[in-house]
Amino acid sequence: AQRVTQPEKLLSVFKGAPVELKCNYSYSGSPELFWYVQYSRQRLQLLLRHISRESIKGFTADLNKGETSFHLKKPFAQEEDSAMYYCALNQAGTALIFGKGTTLSVSS
């Protein structure tokens, strides 16, 4: 079965600390993975796509097919990073399978 697992519901860190949001997936085939972010009172927006291999707002994510993971990392968290983060798997180019999401809380 195709599935995305985000094991942490809440991750609390201090400003300047490193952040790693975990994401594991189950997919038979070549996966295409995304990270989406939802800031308070804003719409869901794309943060990263594994194919593009870019860094957005200091965040990076590497697809590890051996461990079936796509963890989101940032070396130094900022207060404005506080949001809900969703890992998502592209299903046949027509649908996204989302994890349950992780709330990141960054405090000073």
Contact pick of 59, 99, 104, 106 for another protein (by CB under 8 A):
99
* Rounded Cα distance, 98 and 34, in Å: 9
Of 54, 61, 58, the closest CA to residue 21 belongs to 61
Q: Is 91 in the site for another protein (CB under 8 A)?
A: yes
Residues 30-69 that bind another protein (CB under 8 A): 32, 34, 36, 43-46, 49, 51-52
Helix (H, G, I), strand (E, B), or coil: what is residue 104? strand
Out of 3, 53, 57, 100, name the contact with another protein by CB under 8 A: 100
Residue 90 binds to another protein (criterion: CB under 8 A): yes
Please give the full DSSP string across 31-61, using - where no structure is assigned.
--EEEEEE-TTS--EEEEETTT---BTTBEE
For another protein, the binding residues (CB under 8 A) are 32, 34, 36, 43-46, 49, 51-52, 86, 88, 90-101
